[in-house]
Structure 1
Amino acid sequence: MDNQTTNEKRPVIALTGASGYIGNNLLKKLGKQADIIALSRNGDKYEDSENVTWRSADLFSLKDAEKALEGADYAVYLVHSMMPSAKLTQAKFEDMDLILADNFAQAAKKNGVKQIIYLSGIIPPDADELSRHLRSRLEVEKVLSSYGVPVTTVRAGLIVGPKGSSFPIVKKLVKRLPMMALPKWTRQKTHPIALQDVLHALKGSIGNKKLSGESIDVGGPEIMTYKEMMIDTAEVMGKKRKLLNVPFMTVKLSRLWVSVTTGTPREMVYPLIESLIHPMVANPENMDKDLSYGKISFKEAAKSALEQEEQEKKEKEEQQQKQEKDSSNSSSSSKPVISDVRSVQRVLLPEGKTASWAASRYIDWLEEFGRPLIRTSVDQDRNAKIYMLGKEPLLSLTYSHDRSNESRALFYISGGTFAKREETPGRGRLEFRQIPNSQECIIAIHEYKPSLPWFIYTFTQAKFHLWVMYFFKRHLLKQIKQENQHPKLIIEME
């Protein structure tokens, strides 16, 4: 980001994930040269400062995303949805990532944002055989670019810092295993980079016209294997470890082993380990001379990360002690847990059909599929009701005309015996969203609060919904096969 003179208006930068690992560190770096809109799902918990305005935003909501980016000149996108985002999440992370990116890109376009800066992963040359994680990262990059706002993508491999995903896993393996059996993937080449070098690249990309619409790879001064990183990490930690190469441990077995050994949730470990079949090395042809070449060595970065982690641990303990003391003198109770549901599925539409068509077809098909137990009704305003035997609807869906178009059909879950009754209307909604420049469609339920007791719901209605969506997907594929369209995509969707 170019330095601003005293007479120039300070740029306004919207920063997603501002309370997270990378976002919080980037926030500190940008605060002196820009006004920051710090975005977080719990932004209300933080206090504004002279140059930082916190906003709460659930980017699964397009309306929230639009409000979040109001007044922003630039937007930094650091969002990733590998962990569940509701009490019950029935969705693949790649489908959730797609919704988040699509909302963000549309909101950026509506608010006149000049540039989106996106932190992604290094994409190896064999792009036809990418892992789920890297394929999703590339898909997000394309979706962010679909509405005309220039996107600058900073692609990094393993980021060495006190938190995050990959380096803490390496550290935990070294810490907990005196003798480590090393699968084949630990000999794969990767290009670690220090957190500070990544922050330098992100900051330097903001407002950088040379990189508008471009992607760059970034990497540190060393190309290493995971085995070499484990050896160096053990040395920095002052531990002696015996390493044994094993040829028989598959990627599937490795991801389970890593998850159990490190205590890291499988939602995070599995996609990361699957990506290790690829060499994650920065391509010199995709590197920028000013931003791509990290200066900090792996050992130096690892030492700094471990020291910072220890310091943050002490600060967190002190803060918890203070909170416990304050809570003992207060009558305030803890915030209740919200029993909400997010369920996301991806389907393939027939050629020329849209999300709006898919919404209408789904309601009609549901009655055909469930007859004689299930029936549906749709009024002239596209409001729908779903019944099972009785006169009272199971669910009432109110169509949102002002938030819908051919590429998106949005219904609010406004009532029915299966919806929890609330004094004020909730945010529960069902949407059909077409993926830009494709015939794929996302069907998603957000923030739905069921009326059934939670235990019963998870083993009945929740399972039934997945079953229904599976057969609707099959119905659409059958229709496409009859028209002999997209044979390759049909195979992938099946």
Structure 2
Amino acid sequence: MRILVIGALGTIGRKLVPALVEAGHEVNVSSRDPQKQVPWPELACPRFTLDLLDAKSLPDALVGIELVYYLMHGMSDGQAHSELEAVAAKNLANAASEAGVSRIIYMGSLVSAQPKSEHMLARIATGEALAASGVAVTELRAGIIIAPGSAAFEVMRDLVGHMPLALVPKAIDTQAPPIALVNVLYYLVKLADMPETAGMVLDAAGPEWLSYKDLMLKIAKHLNKSIKIIVLPGLPIGLACQVLGVITSVPQSLAKALIAGLAEQLQAKPDELRALIPQSLIGLDQAIEMLLTEEQVQTYPKRWQDGVPTFRNFSSLHGFYVKAAKRTVTVAASPAAIWQVINLLGGKHRYFYLNSLWAMREWMDFALGGSGRNHGRSDDEALKVGDRVDSWTILSAEENDCLVMRFGMKAPGGGGMQISIEPINENNSKLEVALYWHPAGFWGLVYWYFFAPWHGWLLYGMTKNMGRLAEKLQQQLS
């Protein structure tokens, strides 16, 4: 079939797309961010940038499409996410109906018997909005998915990985049936060939039910961490939301939306789905081990992305979700001229602005036993993958396009710098310098926010001076 996967670059989508291609389908993909790279460029899937809140952006992506996978949610979009989700789902469903799409497979969430949290209500409302247009909908509901980037899993990993003691509300005893990502993918792929499931709501659950407390202790065991969890019956969930929203690397709005539904006992009737699509369900321990093994794979894209093991120094304790500080300027110069300026990095120009602040950070690292004072470059003529620029290691060097370097000083987390160029027209280009950080728990977040004001100041001057040098160079070349 010709399939469109909406949300193809998310936790599930990035694994679902290659699985659908392997099953013989022709797959188109969509995302909200046109700059985000696909993890499988070799598949050459046609790609569309969609704004689901803008109905006009949808028709082109749906031409000739028979089946749509809808993997979107808006929990990271702030307090009004449920209303926005309903509008997005309605727009997609109407456009799919007009395009003659046969069916929509919606990845929803297990809910309680009487849902109250905005997260659960939004999941139900989205399913209803998709079905309202008349297009047949198959809804697959799952609870906590054990996968890198799964927000619920990442919140718990961040908590147990970096706190020896956790004071938690009584709701931590609520039970859930976590399920391995590989099992969810198998269900999703098989449902493509089962039109008879149209109109059905199917529950996907793992082989065991356990409390969130027990789940956290399991994760801690696999991370070789020790944590004492003390239940305080009177502790409000709202307070827990505020505290965990600070501790975790997961975007705060997303983390709070999930935690708000902690006390609601999930309901699941998985027998119907298991009878339709039999498979061997992976236990929790094996699922966690599979996840940790995957995080040691030494591959990475040319640009920074959430969760890439190389960017996190191959540490399962470094937050999956990245913190970022960016500055973009328009420069009256060609990409080639800007690249020549980038190639001066680490030499006598160092970082183009307030090098004394960089030097202070290097002395701090040196005092802690690090190599921050180890100045210089492996190659003074060119930037090449694997080479050193002061305490940075070059991960990607695409001439006239992008430079990615990993941070090498001692710090509670892993991060790096990305300098990218985007041509605008014959005479102008965009230059962006970004600092990225995967925090190691609470102290990693403290480290990031402590330096955040300095980052803004440094990036402002750095991009401005780099732009000026590029423009002077362009005038010399003209």
TM-score normalised to structure 2 length:
0.62
Structure 1 unmatched ranges of 5 or more? 1-10, 338-494
The whole-number CA distance in structure 2 between the counterparts of 1:170 and 1:31 is: 32
- Which residue number in structure 2 is paired with residue 252 of structure 1? 238
Distance across 1 between alignment mates of 2:199 and 2:36 = 35
Q: Is the contact made by 1:188 and 1:225 (CA closer than 8 Å) also made in structure 2?
A: yes
- Structure 1 residues 370-409: aligned runs within 5 Å: none
Shift of residue 59, structure 1, vs aligned partner? 1.6
Q: Is the 8 A contact 2:176 2:212 kept in 1?
A: yes
**Equivalent residue letter for 1:264:** V
Question: Take 1:24 and 1:65, find their aligned partners in 2: how far apart are those partners?
Answer: 21
Query: Is 2:85 aligned against 1:102?
Result: no
Corresponding residue of 1:61: 54
| Partner Cα separation in structure 1 for residue 277 and residue 140 of structure 2 | 10
Paired position in structure 2 for 1:40 = 31
For 1:181, the aligned partner's letter is: L
| Residue 124 of structure 1, CA deviation | 2.1
Deviation at 1:239, TM superposition (A): 1.7
Q: Cα offset for 1:73?
A: 0.8
Identify which of 180, 185, 193 aligns with 1:199: 185
**Within-5 A mapping of 1:96-245:** 96-126=84-114, 129-245=115-231
- Look up the match of 1:28: 18
SS of equivalent residue, structure 2 residue 75: coil
> Following TM superposition, by how much is the alpha carbon of 1:291 offset from its aligned partner in structure 2, in angstroms?
3.4
Contact kept in structure 1, 2:172 and 2:263, CA below 8 Å = no
Deviation of 1:43 after TM superposition, in Å, equals 4.5
CA contact (8 A) 1:180 1:241 kept: yes
Alpha-carbon deviation of 1:298?
0.9
- Equivalent of residue 73 in structure 1, options 53, 59, 66: 66
Taking structure 1 as reference, are residues 43 and 70 closer, same or farther at Cα in structure 2, changes over 3 Å only?
farther
Q: Residues 20 and 158 from structure 1, CA distance in 2 versus in 1: closer, same or farther, beyond 3 angstroms?
A: same
Partners of 1:77 and 1:116 within 8 A in 2:
yes
Per-residue CA distance 1:318-342 (angstroms, 9 max, x = gap): 89933457446987565679xxxxx
Q: Distance in 2 between matches of 1:165 and 1:46?
A: 20
Distance in structure 1 (CA, Å) of the matches to 2:71 and 2:18: 15
CA apart distance, 1:24: 0.8
Q: 1:50 to 1:183 in 2, by over 3 A?
A: closer
Asked whether the equivalents of residues 421 and 432 of structure 2 are also in contact (C-alpha less than 8 Å), the reply is no
Is this contact kept in 2: 1:36–1:51, CA < 8 A? Answer: no
Whole-Å Cα distance in 2 between the matches of residues 12 and 211 of structure 1?
Answer: 18
> How big is the shift at 1:262?
1.5
| CA gap 1:52/1:165 in 2 versus in 1, 3 angstroms | same
> Which moved further from structure 2: 285-294 or 208-217?
285-294
Q: Report Cα offsets for 1:112-157 as digits up to 9, x if no partner.
A: 111100001112222xx42111111111101100111100000000
C-alpha distance in 2 between matches for 1:246 and 1:193: 28
How many angstroms does 1:283 deviate by?
A: 1.9
User: Kindly tell me: are residues 51 and 210 of structure 1, through their superposed partners in 2, closer, same or farther at Cα, counting changes over 3 Å?
Assistant: farther
Secondary structure class of the residue paired with 2:275: coil
Q: Which residue of 2 aligns with 1:397?
A: none
- The one-letter code matched in structure 1 to 2:65 is A
Residue 215 of structure 1, CA deviation: 0.7
Distance 1:294 1:276, change over 3 A: farther
1:390 corresponds in structure 2 to none
- 1:335 and 1:202, CA in 2 relative to 1: closer, same or farther beyond 3 A? farther
Residue 306 of structure 1, CA deviation: 2.4
Structure 2: which 5+ residue stretches go unaligned? 298-306, 313-384, 387-392, 404-418, 423-428, 434-478
Check whether the contact 2:113–2:267 (CA below 8 A) recurs between aligned residues: no
Instruction: Kindly indicate whether residue 314 of structure 2 is the aligned counterpart of residue 321 of structure 1.
Output: no
Partner amino acid, structure 2, of 1:237? L
CA contact 1:34–1:51 (8 Å) conserved in 2 = no
**Root-mean-square deviation over aligned CA pairs:** 2.6
8 Å CA contact retained: 2:30, 2:48: yes
* In structure 2, C-alpha distance between the alignment counterparts of 1:321 and 1:229, rounded to whole Å: 38
Aligned to 1:295: 281
1:7 matched residue in structure 2? none
C-alpha contact 1:169 1:262 (8 A) present in aligned 2: yes
Match of 2:295 in 1: 309
Using the TM superposition, give the Cα deviation of residue 65 of structure 1 relative to its aligned residue in structure 2, in angstroms. Answer: 1.4
| 1:25-51 CA-partner distances (Å, limit 9, x unpaired) | 001111121000111123576586566
1:46–1:180 distance in 2 versus 1, CA, 3 Å:
closer
Once residues 57 and 156 of structure 1 are traced to their aligned partners in structure 2, the CA distance between those partners, rounded to angstroms, is 25
How far has the Cα of 1:310 moved from its partner? 4.1
Cα distance change, pair 281–222 in 1 and its aligned pair in 2 (3 A): farther
Number of aligned positions between the proteins: 320
Matching residue's letter, 1:35: E
1:277 partner amino acid: A
Percent of residue pairs identical:
27
1:29 counterpart letter in structure 2: A
Q: Provide the rounded CA distance (Å) in 2 between the counterparts of 1:39 and 1:13.
A: 11
TM-score (norm 1): 0.60
What does residue 12 of structure 1 align with? 2
The Cα of 1:18 is off from its aligned counterpart by: 1.1
Structure-1 separation of matches of 2:230 and 2:267: 24
CA distance in 2, matches of 1:169, 1:261: 9
Task: Report which stretch shifted further, 177-186 or 324-333.
Answer: 324-333
What is the identity, as a one-letter code, of the residue corresponding to 1:34? H
- Given that 2:166 and 2:229 are in contact with CA atoms closer than 8 Å, whether structure 1 keeps it comes out as yes
Query: Match for residue 92 of structure 1?
Result: 80
Q: Quick one: which amino acid aligns to residue 99 of structure 1?
A: V
Superposed, 1:451-490 pairs within 5 Å as none
Give the match's secondary structure for 1:151.
Answer: strand
Q: Equivalent residue of 2:262, what SS?
A: helix
Instruction: State the distance in 1 between where 2:421 and 2:119 align.
Output: 45
After superposing the two structures, state which structure 1 stretch, 309-318 or 103-112, moved more: 309-318
Deviation at 1:314, TM superposition (A): 3.7
Change (3 A) 1:285 1:300: closer
* CA distance in 2 between partners of 1:196 and 1:263 (Å): 24
Change (3 A) 1:168 1:116: same
